Amino acid sequence: MTQAGRQGSPRNSAGGNSAGRNAGRNSAGGNAGRAAGGKGGRDFPGRDFSKGGGDRPFKHPKPREEAFIDPDLQAGAPASRPAAGGRKPNSPAAKGAARKPGARKPGFGKEPGTPGALKPKPRTGAAKAAGPRAFGSERFGQNLGPVRRPARNRGPRREVPQSEFHDADGIRLQKVMASAGVASRRVCEEMIAEGRVEVDGHVVTELGMRVDPKTAVIHVDGLRIQLDENMVYMVFNKPKGVVSTMEDPDGRPCISDFVRKYNGERLFHVGRLDVATEGLLLLTNDGELANRLTHPSYEVPKTYLVQVRGPFPQGVGAELKAGVELEDGIASVDSFRLVDSTPGHVLIEVVLHSGKNRIVRRLFDAVGFPVLRLVRVKVGPIGLGDQRQGSIRNLGKQEVGHLLASVGL
């Protein structure tokens, strides 16, 4: 807009400019209105609103209407259906009730257990442990969630006095837990007070108890704490063509070729995989753990991915779960799941706890589908994940606790 246009606009007109407004404020009529007791922020020339003068008559403001308050709700009593005219439809109480989910359902507002009352929704899932979890700040290893201990090891938890397990020459329990990497010492004290810590199978809730780290068995939320720093727990992703032994007289590649930097430790390989089978092998110097993981009575599950030629007809999976007759008896799988199917090939996941030699290959040979490729991806709670072939990694403290708990240690 040009300068001339802006000057001629209503905003810059003589009646609306600053000079005109100042003249209006200082006019006689405005001063007279203020002198007569007029209230206001803005005064207009020639208008007196104090006693009805001016263009518009003076109107007294209406009294403010008080909000409706239900005496029953004010006293904390349960809301009941009001009589006609008892509650205004736009009252805050009515608006609040309308916003609640399910307020329009029949039976809303009735006490639970009375006829016609809404049924409470069942809670799903197990209750989570209060407070931070053990080894929650650990960045090493995999987070395996809550511990699932074998049913045979579950028993009534009994709180015992501190004096029964107190060792005057030992170390404070919270300090032992903090040194093992469970959490800070303050958080460990909270775990003890909440009844989440067990010493030698008994719940301890009193602070100040001293224990001997060499002999005490400590669990936090069912998770075993390994206090022996000399113990080694590793996962080896065995490639195809490697023999499951530490030494091979024929000179073939074996496990010791991949663990040369651990020559000072005597490591056990838990279980065996044939030369053509790939996947997870546990290595440890914990002899008790190795014996339990391989013993049939503990029934440690092992998960395999099996590749066979397709198409794979229905009913074969049910046959494998029901049991197949082999030369050394009847064998079966615990679970069977079809993972992927491509033209000419099928990928299947099976879980079984049997430790017999070449059991997976013999089962699929018995049903007429020889194995093309076999990979073990999980032993107990420990999974292979995205670990590359031929690599070795140390287990995290949380993984070690799950592994020990899976066999009752």
Sign of CA dihedral 91, 93, 95, 98: negative
Q: What token pair was written down for 395?
A: 């287990």
The β-bridge relationship of strands 202-203 and 268-270 is unpaired
Q: Which one-letter amino acid corresponds to residue 189?
A: E
Tell me the C-alpha distance between 322 and 309, whole Å.
22
Adjacent-strand bridge partners of 331: 324
Are 242 and 389 in contact by the 8 Å Cβ rule? The answer is no
Residues 6+ positions from 157 with CB-CB distance below 8 Å: 198, 202, 203
∠ CA 36-38-40, nearest 5°, is 155
274 is known as an active-site residue: yes
| Burial (0-12, 13-18, 19+ Cβ within 10 Å), 391 | exposed
- Cα 313 to Cα 165, 317, 382: the distances in Å are 60, 9, 31
Q: Which candidate in 212, 257, 274, 340 is catalytic? A: 274
Active site residues: 274
